[in-house]
Amino acid sequence: MSQSALTRVFYRRGVPIWRDVVVLQWIAQIVSAVLVIVFLIFFVSNVLRAAEARGLSLGYGFIDTASGFPLPESVLPYDAARPFGYAFLIGILHTLKVSVVGVVLATLLGTVTALARLSTNWLVNKIASVYIEIIRNIPLAVQLFFWYFAVFQQLPSVQESFELPGPIFFSQRGLYMVWASPTATFGFWMVFVIAGVVLAVVLYRVLTSYQLRTGRTTYPIATALIVLIALPVVGWFLAGANPLSKTVPVLGKFNFSGGLNLTPEFTALLVGLVIYTGAFIAEVVRAGILAVSRGQFEAARAVGLSPMLVLRLVVLPQALRVIIPPLISQYLNLTKNSSLAILIGYPDLFFVGRTTINQAGRAVPVFILVMVSYLLMSLTTSAIMNVYNRRIQLVER
């Protein structure tokens, strides 16, 4: 072979192909892709072989067959004759329930603690920091065990329940509290409530933009608040019968009836998650508020804004920019940590998945279902929060 032919085949733009970056990069990509694919094929073929050998099923046909296991509690009517898919749905709802309530309460607790931590009162400040340092350094699983086995399981029996004003009763059966339950006219009233919220938001935005454009005072907040309160009140009276009625737990022979019941499992999980995540959120919020420089407060005061306005217009918008991203990951952590429910027997997504695997030996498909559900929840939460985050981020010019 002549020199020129060799050059034509093995050289590109004067570089031998074994030193050509583009070629090397392609080789690296192909090699890594092949490696990953080989691994996947290896695993999948093993699963198929194992499935065949042990008679496991890999399909999702079992979704609409009877689950065959009871759940300790359920937000929807449920029994062992219901299909597996339905049990799984209840598991998801349980995870969502504890996560949503937990996120709201943990944010409140975290914010209050952060404010206490920033307080000029030395004692309050120290109490908050002791709470944060104790809680953050103890594993959540240990805390959940403590709340469930050492606190909620050892509460007095129903007959000797421990009562707080409200009334709220604590006993081995969990928490019973006074609650408002919807009546027949509740749907009618809800229309007014939703209309009130929508109208309030729309009015607030329209009036704010009008004020910004023309400089005339339009009182957007006051107007929105009035609409927000007035519409539901009007609806309440138009509905005739009360849309909500008060139900009070009454001690019967064996248990309470009426009121809202939270099981010990749910309450322990919720308390554990809120107290744990609250400590982390407190640090997030504190860091966010400290990130706003002192000069900003002083400048805003100098311009003549009242302390409330300083907080609302100057400090919070800047602090939120710092707070939101780590707050997102705390919310995600709380959702993922709710899978520890299995330690204390609250039937969440993971609990239902694991029970199914134990009962029916459909490990692989159930497992994929559980993983995908958690992923979807995580991705949705972070997508929503990221949209919000993008809206409040600084627009650099």
Q: How far is the CB of 70 from another protein (least distance, A)?
A: 21
In sequence order, which residues have a C-beta less than 8 Å from that of residue 326 and are 6 or more positions away? 284, 287
> Scanning residues 253 to 272, which ones bind another protein (CB under 8 A)?
none
> Scanning residues 343 to 362, which ones bind another protein (CB under 8 A)?
343, 350, 354, 357
CA distance 276 to 24: 50
CA distance 181 to 249: 12
**Cα-based torsion angle of the residue sequence 285, 287, 292, 294 in order, rounded to the nearest 10 degrees:** 120
375 touching another protein, by CB under 8 A: yes
Q: Give the DSSP letter of residue 157.
A: P
The pair of three-digit structure tokens given for residue 8, joined into one six-digit string: 């034509």
33 touching another protein, by CB under 8 A: yes
CA distance 171 to 264: 8
Q: How far is the CB of 323 from another protein (least distance, A)?
A: 19
Q: How far is the CB of 316 from another protein (least distance, A)?
A: 22
In sequence order, which residues have a C-beta less than 8 Å from that of residue 14 and are 6 or more positions away? none
Query: Closer to another protein at the Cβ: 199 or 364?
Result: 364
Q: How far is the CB of 375 from another protein (least distance, A)?
A: 4
Q: How far is the CB of 149 from another protein (least distance, A)?
A: 4
In sequence order, which residues have a C-beta less than 8 Å from that of residue 234 and are 6 or more positions away? 192
What is the β-pairing status of strands 244-247 and 250-251? unpaired
CA distance 255 to 249: 9
Q: How far is the CB of 290 from another protein (least distance, A)?
A: 15
Applying CB under 8 A, the span of 2-10, 44-52, 61-69, 194-202 interacting with another protein comes to 44-52
Task: For tokens 């400090």, name the residue.
Answer: 315
Q: What binding mask, one character per residue, do residues 307-346 give for another protein by CB under 8 A, x or -?
A: -----------------------------xx-xx-xx---
* Site size toward another protein, by CB under 8 A: 56
32 touching another protein, by CB under 8 A: yes
149 touching another protein, by CB under 8 A: yes
In sequence order, which residues have a C-beta less than 8 Å from that of residue 59 and are 6 or more positions away? 365
100 touching another protein, by CB under 8 A: no
CB 366 within 8 A of CB 356: yes
22 touching another protein, by CB under 8 A: no
10 touching another protein, by CB under 8 A: no
Q: Which residue from 46, 65, 293, 393 is in contact with another protein, where contact means CB under 8 A?
A: 46
Cα 114 to chain centroid distance, Å, stands at 20
Q: What binding mask, one character per residue, do residues 118-147 give for another protein by CB under 8 A, x or -?
A: -xxxxxx--x-----xx--xxxxxxx-xx-
172 touching another protein, by CB under 8 A: no
> Quick one: CA dihedral 16, 22, 28, 30, positive or negative?
negative
Q: Which residues lie near another protein (CB under 8 A)?
A: 25, 28-30, 32-33, 36, 43, 46-47, 49-51, 53, 56, 119-124, 127, 133-134, 137-143, 145-146, 149-151, 153-154, 336-337, 339-340, 342-343, 350, 354, 357, 363-364, 367, 370-371, 374-375, 378-379
